[in-house]
Every structure is written in C-alpha cells, then in structure tokens.
A = this chain, B = another copy of it.
C-alpha cells in the first residue's frame, strides 16, 4: 500500500488501515513522521477524553460502558488503552478480551492497546501521535485509558480535553498516594464501585479536598460522580458532565488555549525524543561504557565524562 493510499483509507475510517498506521507510529521512523505530517490538516475534530486512576478502579468497564453510551447516540469511538507493562500486571490482557467480545465487533468502535514495553519513555509521544490518526479517521471520541502510575501515563491523560480520574470508595490510601499527581489533572472524578461501603464518606472527603483549592466563579470545579460501571449506573451522569465540561471549554477561548498548551508540550516532547535518539547512538553508548571503568576507579567524575560525551555529540553535528 502506498503512503497516499494508506491516508485515503484512514480518512475513510478503514479499521485495517488505521491499525496499520498505528503500527507504523509505534515503529517511530521516518514513515511515521511523514504520515503524521500529511494527516495533521485533517485532525482537530475528535473530542479527547482521558480516563485514569489506580489499577482495580474499573477503568476498562467504565470505558466500555461509556463507549456503548456514545454508540447509542450514534457517535463513533476509538479507545487507546495504555498498558504499563510489568511482569506483575496481567489485568490489561484479560480486560482486553472481555472488551473485544463486547464492543470490538462494532464498526463504529476501534480499540488499540499500546504498551510501554521497550519504548524508552516515548510512550506518551506515540500515544498522542496515534490519536492524530484516529482523529483524522473521523472518530467522534477518542478515549485514552491509562493507569495513573507513571509520569508518562499522566502525561497522556493530561493532553485530553476532558480528564476523568477514577477511584473506588476504599482507596483512601490511593487517594492520598495519587493526590499529588491526579488532583491537578482531573476535570472530573468518578467514584466507581460506589455500592461498596464507605462510598458516601469517600465522596465527601474527595469534595472537601477539592474545595481547598483556590478558585473563583470562572474556575471549573471537578464534579464527583458515583458509578457502578458493571451495572451501568452513573454512566449517563458521566456523559453529562463530559458534555458540560466541553461547553465550559467552548467559552472564552478556553478550548483553543488548552489545545495550544497541549501542542506545545507535544512539540517539545517530539524534539526531545528526537534529540535523545540522535544522542544515544550505539557508538556513543559504547563510548560511555568504556568511560565507566574510569569512574569506578575514581579517576574521572561523572561530570567529566558527561562533558566528553557532549563534546563528541556536538562534533558529530559539525561533521554532518
């Protein structure tokens, strides 16, 4: 398939072409860059929703129910599930299988998992690149499902238009643990599994912490919604809050501003990733390894060696 054909098929929302494009993006070479440059003009219409929170909060089920809700309104949905691969988490795979059987066959739904496996921190970049393809393909909603643990996963959620943080009643500790990172990025909280004991207390304590933040009448105050995703309870309310937040962003140029900030973060990320790639060539890695023996012997400090490597790097520029 030529690059031009691929783009045409993306624009027709052909799932196989979309899937193939994301594989190209995962490989991250020149083809990926060219593709992204060429489709960019076709992006900007999809609404992006970030769904994050600790493992076990029911994010996959929520994502599935929300997808069904959007489909019942005739909207198309693409899901990117970001899987922080670890030998200890097997959940993602199981969730994927359930998901595929429930909504995977629907023509208006596209599902893709992207893993951190061996991606050297470039995951948030690639995930956001993939969203461009889904946007160009004309999906109405793009849902980023991430586990709010690593920085990279937080970065992905943060670049959404509306970010939903999912918690469960008994995650008092988790709330503590996640506060620092998750409070700042949440446009709304979903207290899932809220038929469990302690839901009302958790709700109140969450609302109380939210009130301590400085705000005026123009500040968006993240609502807290109770849900039981497995029983489809609270899903309409979640969709309503998303719509409300979308309306809020539409005022006073907020949406434009938010997208601009996200573009800036994204461009910086692209630049830094490329520079890192050019920096850590196999030759330079080998050179660093040779120097390391001298650090161990105490002959050279890490700063001395860093200087040497930076000089090598800059000299290589001059030669190109």
**Chain A residues engaging chain B, CB cutoff 8 angstroms:** 33, 36-37, 40-41, 43-44, 54-56, 84, 86-89, 147-152, 168, 170-174, 176-181, 183-184, 209, 212-213, 256, 259-260, 263-264, 266-268, 270-272, 274-276, 279-280, 288-289, 291-292, 295-296, 298, 300-306, 309-310, 313-314, 317-318
Contacts and interface: CB of A to CB of B under 8 A. Distances in A.
A152 B303 CA distance: 20
Nearest to A305: B267
Nearest to A257: B296
Nearest to A271: B306
Contacts of A263: 292, 295-296, 302
B272 A279 contact: yes
A265 B80 CA distance: 31
Contacts of A184: 86
Contacts of A86: 179-180, 183-184
21 contacts: A37-B303, A55-B179, A55-B180, A86-B183, A147-B180, A149-B177, A150-B180, A170-B172, A171-B177, A173-B173, A174-B177, A266-B302, A267-B288, A267-B291, A267-B295, A267-B302, A267-B309, A270-B306, A271-B279, A275-B279, A317-B317
Nearest to A289: B264
SS of A interface (majority): helix
Q: Considering the complex of A and B, which 7 residue pairs feature the smallest CB-CB distances, nearest first?
A: A40-B301, A54-B177, A86-B180, A270-B306, A151-B151, A173-B174, A171-B173
A177 B176 CA distance: 12
Contact of A272 (B178, B276, B292): B276
Nearest to A280: B268
B180 A177 contact: no
A274 B40 contact: no
A119 to B, nearest CB: 14
A310 B180 contact: no
B180 A302 contact: no
A263 B288 CA distance: 10
A89 B310 contact: no
A267 B306 contact: yes
